[in-house]
A and B are shown apart, each in its own frame.
Chain A
Amino acid sequence: MDTTSPEKIPFLRDPAKLAILYQILTVVGVGLLCYYLVHNTLANLERQSISTGFGFIEKEASFEIGESVIKYSAADSYGRALMVGFFNTLIVSFIGILLTVILGTFLGIARLSSNWLLAKISAIYIEIFQDIPILLQLFFWYAFFYEILPSPRAALNPMSGMFLCNRGLIFGIPVWHDAFKYAAIALILGCVIIFFMKKWAAKRQAATGMIFPVFRVSLAIIIGLPVITWFLAGAPTEMSIPKLSGFNFKGGLTISPEFTALLLGLVLYTAAFVAEVVRAGIQSVSKGQKEAAMSIGLKQGHVLNLVVLPQALRVIVPPLTSQLLNLTKNSSLAVAIGYPDFVSVAGTTINQTGQAIEGVALIMMVYLIFSLSTSAYMNWYNKKIALVER
């Protein structure tokens, strides 16, 4: 700026100052809006004498929940009931995400396969599952389970100790024994060993060029270590076998039709989108890369694993994150088919206590936690695989 200029720029014509003014006005406006909403809500609640606050968390829930991984009964608090819902959502999302990534990747690669039948089947699958609303798919799978499967008294018995009926898939599980605790510790230990072994193997390969069979040794450690521990701890083999008594099976582990229908619906639906994401990623790697890899004599598997996928992943990961978040959020449709996820339990809590605003705030918070942690992990992974330019 010409500092000698005698004329001062008027305030309203100075774009820099105006920009600051606009920003202040916006902040004030948003602040007023928030104040208005909160104040109005509180005033309305007060006027209708609806109680507020999170005091209800401590009160006895006095309703039962169909399935739970933690111990729960109607005598527990609303807080405990909400925890049950939280873990139910966590489990279905976690298993769902794992299966979706596996199935989606497989479908995406299959769609590009030179095998005509495989490519066409994959394409048809993607078109069908991508185009039908997820809620309808959930209703379909749920109805499929309770309409097709027999009642517990006429349960299918495909193998000894396993039953299939409209109460779910019920199978024997080992009775709890300390040996399993030790085996679990051994498994974690095995993972740590593998982590360091991989580092060592990479270093050695870089230094000497010798390839260490990481995959095979890892597999041996993951399976072998827990098995040996279990054996040394006394090899307990007592099983809790389900038995029909009264209305239902007692003992064993039950996987309910609600859970299965929800998981199946979410995985099959989301996998179709993931498949397209994977296909886009692979197609983004130029053909020359693949040809170059082949021309230096790499095996088919190595071409995919060492050359194509590392480059494709950079394209795949961001939209993949978004699909996985969708899966988590879609799991809230569980309430339609009777799986007690967080939304379902929170909904009942809202209805029994009447504290809709607190309940909805909790629901939003839980999904925010799920989504932010998924995002954080995927962003970390994305950074890790990002192309390092040298």
Chain B
Amino acid sequence: MRQLKRVVPAIVAAFCLTAGVVTAGTLDDVKAKGFVQAGVNGDLFGFGKPDAKGVWKGLDVDTARAVAIAIFGDSQKVKFTPLTAKTRFTALQSGEIDVLTRNATQTLSRDTALGLDFAQVNYYDGQGFLIPKKLGVKSAKELDGASVCVLPGTTTELNVADFFRFNNMKMNPVVIENTAELSKAFFAGRCDCMTSDASQLAGIRAVSPNPGDYMILPEIISKEPLAPAVRHGDNQWKDIVNYSVLALIDAEELGITSKNVDEMLKSKNPKIQRFLGVIPGNGKALGLDEKWAYNIIKQIGNYGEVFERNIGVNTPLGIERGLNALWTNGGLMYSPPFK
């Protein structure tokens, strides 16, 4: 009984204390545990999917690796959590992951009501329709009455409803949570068409049994800026994620690649010297090692290399740079100066 008398106040005190504790910054948490926990797709070829040997590959995966390299100088110090479209934001909100690189579209409501912050866009996308060629449909405006396979909890679910409503057409959505199950139902003919971001459709078609039998309709019905997301309110962490992506873009603009990065260390160009940390300052400002950007480019290359390796024209996805080219080449990829 004496013990009980001592234990109870202790428990009460513990409760009162923990209720008041606020967690430290994400950067400190990440450094303490020794790796970045990144939320990725897990099923999307070209963006986030393990290969046959279980090694994670993809544009979003490389983006997460860039963050890990910026902090630890090591592309292996990252662990991946595959998430569905529905669970991804909750996983970030609850602190299960540190950064979400899972082809998530930046929108106003996600930026505000969901308590998220989006970093630099790593892929400019738009929503399209994948359809069997044998249906003979040439335009999305001919889809009145169609059954549409769509993932739940996505902006695409809203866009497609808007598109059909605006064009006075009827649709019959078939909503399945898991990308793999949804694709299976689509390729078996449960739906007339499948809608998602065009890049995602290209990824799904690339791994289908007969990619040649399917086409993506010309209409792009939405803007989908896909960007990494972090929790709202941790500005230092957001800066790190933001500039890890921007470093990829700026390196391409400066002509720095994984192959020439060591020669570039000797460059006389002050922009390059600042970028690679030869002239120090950027690293300290971010709370990172001065070699952070050098390490990123050395280990995974610049944005152009990452793009071509994962989803470019020489991969099964065969996606052109388009909107994702540098601004100097008519695209939207533009980085503020690194100084």
**A and B are interacting partners:** yes
6 contacts between A and B (CB under 8 A): A64-B172, A338-B174, A352-B157, A354-B89, A354-B110, A354-B115
The residues of B that contact A40 with a CB separation of less than 8 Å are: 18-19
Contact between B189 and A354, CB atoms less than 8 A apart: no
Structural contact, B115 and A33, CB atoms closer than 8 A = no
Select A257's contact among B152, B161, B190, beta carbons within 8 Å.
B190
Taken together as a complex, chains A and B put the C-alpha atoms of A362 and B229 apart, in Å, by: 27
Stretch at the interface among A181-189, A246-254, A370-378: A246-254
Mask of A241-264 contacts with B, CB within 8 angstroms, 1/0:
000011110100000011000000
Q: Enumerate chain B residues within 8 angstroms of A29, measured Cβ to Cβ.
A: 8, 11
With A257-B190, A335-B177 in contact, do A247 and B147 touch (Cβ < 8 Å)? yes
Chain B interface size, under 10 / 10 to 19 / 20 to 34 / 35 or more: 35 or more
Q: Across the interface, which residues of A come within 8 angstroms of B147, CB to CB? A: 167, 247-248
Q: Does B269 contact A (CB under 8 A)?
A: no
Contact check, B12 vs A32: say whether CB atoms are below 8 A apart. yes
Report whether B158 and A63 are in contact in the complex, using a CB–CB cutoff of 8 Å: yes
The answer to whether B158 touches A66, judged by C-beta atoms less than 8 angstroms apart, is: no
Name which residue of chain B comes closest to A25, CB basis. B8
Shortest C-beta distance, B237 to chain A (Å), equals 13
Cβ-Cβ contact count across A and B, 8 Å cutoff? 143
Q: How far is the CA of A117 from the CA of B161 in the complex (A)?
A: 54
Task: Note all chain A residues with C-beta closer than 8 A to B190.
Answer: 146, 166-167, 257
- B-contacting residues, A203-257, CB 8 Å: 245-248, 250, 257
Minimum distance in angstroms from B213 CB to a CB of chain A: 14
Residue of A nearest to B234 (CB): A48
Q: Which residue of A lies closest to B172 (CB)?
A: A66
B86 neighbours in A (Cβ, 8 Å): 347-348, 350-351
- A348→B157 contact, CB < 8 A: yes
Among the 9-residue stretches B30-38, B70-78, B180-188, the one with 4 or more Cβ atoms under 8 Å from chain A is B180-188
Q: Is B29 part of the binding interface, using a Cβ–Cβ cutoff of 8 Å? A: no
Residues from chain B with a CB closer than 8 A to the CB of A344 are: 152, 175, 177
Q: Are B185 and A245 in contact (CB under 8 A)?
A: no
Interface string of B148-175 (1 = CB under 8 A from A): 0000111001101110110000011111
A118 CB-CB contact with B under 8 Å: no
Interface membership of A306, Cβ < 8 A = no
Q: Which residues of B contact A335 (CB under 8 A)?
A: 152, 176-177
Cβ-based interface call for A115 (8 A): no
Cβ–Cβ contact A348 & B12, under 8 A: no
Instruction: Give residues of chain B (1-19) contacting chain A, Cβ–Cβ below 8 Å.
Output: 1, 8, 11-12, 15, 18-19
A354 touches B19 (CB 8 A): no
Q: Is the CB of A245 within 8 A of B114?
A: no
How many angstroms from the CA of A146 to the CA of B85 in the assembled complex?
A: 24
B97 to chain A, nearest CB (A): 14
Partner of B233, one of A47, A245, A337: A47
- The interface-forming segment of B138-146, B198-206, B241-249, B283-291 is B138-146
- Inter-chain contact B146/A247, CB cutoff 8 Å: yes
